Chains A and B, each alone.
Chain A
Amino acid sequence: LAKTTQPISMDSYEGQEVNITCSHNNIATNDYITWYQQFPSQGPRFIIQGYKTKVTNEVASLFIPADRKSSTLSLPRVSLSDTAVYYCLVGVYGGYNKLIFGAGTRLAVHP
């Protein structure tokens, strides 16, 4: 299973764009990259998933370079409600969807 490394914490202000980078140097050919968001006292919530290049949805964008050894979650114009822990995960394709959570990035958005 590919191990992921993310910054432990980040601070931002309302209205700013936030980019959280995750490194996964030993990602396998068929692995997907998935990001989850977790608020206190709630379960993690799926944000976005990608395999290569760029993926965008109504919540975020995910940028994956050609070598796929890293990925960047981009949150446009964050608000106070985006304060949460963000987890980057790399799963095993073709087998049981075994998610190994890393420490995650604790994002604090300030007024």
Chain B
Amino acid sequence: DAMVIQNPRYQVTQFGKPVTLSCSQTLNHNVMYWYQQKSSQAPKLLFHYYDKDFNNEADTPDNFQSRRPNTSFCFLDIRSPGLGDAAMYLCATSRQGDSNQPQHFGDGTRLSIL
């Protein structure tokens, strides 16, 4: 049973056209994360929510925003996608914020920019 679901699996957008990626979870976890993973690179944390508290990484571009309307859903908004934003975007959850709480990942959304 899928526990962290990302839709769509593949997304194509045009240069500069806003795009939203979605993530839902059935685990009722407190923390939700967004990672960016470019080809042959490791995932890179963009930001995370601990309940409703938003935590942005220092080097995350302003072009990237996130929303978490409720426990189950989290969205990644890219306001003006550039060619360099083409990547796999991974959503993850964890029950709490401690390092002994494994993260559960979705299978990602692969974003292409035309």
Question: Out of B42, B98, B104, which one reaches A101, CB within 8 Å?
Answer: B42
Question: Out of B91, B96, B100, B110, which one reaches A32, CB within 8 Å?
Answer: B100
Whether a CB of chain A sits under 8 angstroms from the CB of B81 is no
- Closest Cβ of chain A to B103, distance in Å, is 6
Q: Is the CB of B107 within 8 A of A97?
A: no
Q: Is the interface of A mostly helix, strand, loop or mixed?
A: loop
Question: Out of A30, A99, A102, which one reaches B103, CB within 8 Å?
Answer: A99
**Contact A32 B99, CB 8 Å, known A96-B55, A97-B94:** yes
User: Which residues of A are found within 8 Å of B68, using beta-carbon distances?
Assistant: none
User: Which residues of A are found within 8 Å of B82, using beta-carbon distances?
Assistant: none
Q: Is the CB of B105 within 8 A of A43?
A: yes
**Contact A43 B96, CB 8 Å, known A96-B31, A96-B48, A101-B42:** no
Q: Is the CB of A34 within 8 A of B99?
A: yes
Interface size class of A (residues with CB under 8 A): 20 to 34
- The distance in angstroms between the C-alpha atoms of A95 and B97, with both chains bound, is 6
Identify the closest chain B residue to A35 (Cβ). Answer: B102
A residues lining the B interface (CB < 8 Å) = 30-32, 34, 41-46, 49, 51, 87, 90-104
- Closest Cβ of chain A to B30, distance in Å, is 10
Q: Is the CB of B107 within 8 A of A43?
A: yes
- The distance in angstroms between the C-alpha atoms of A14 and B106, with both chains bound, is 28
Q: Is the CB of B98 within 8 A of A97?
A: yes
Identify the closest chain A residue to B50 (Cβ). Answer: A96
Whether a CB of chain A sits under 8 angstroms from the CB of B78 is no
- The distance in angstroms between the C-alpha atoms of A27 and B77, with both chains bound, is 35
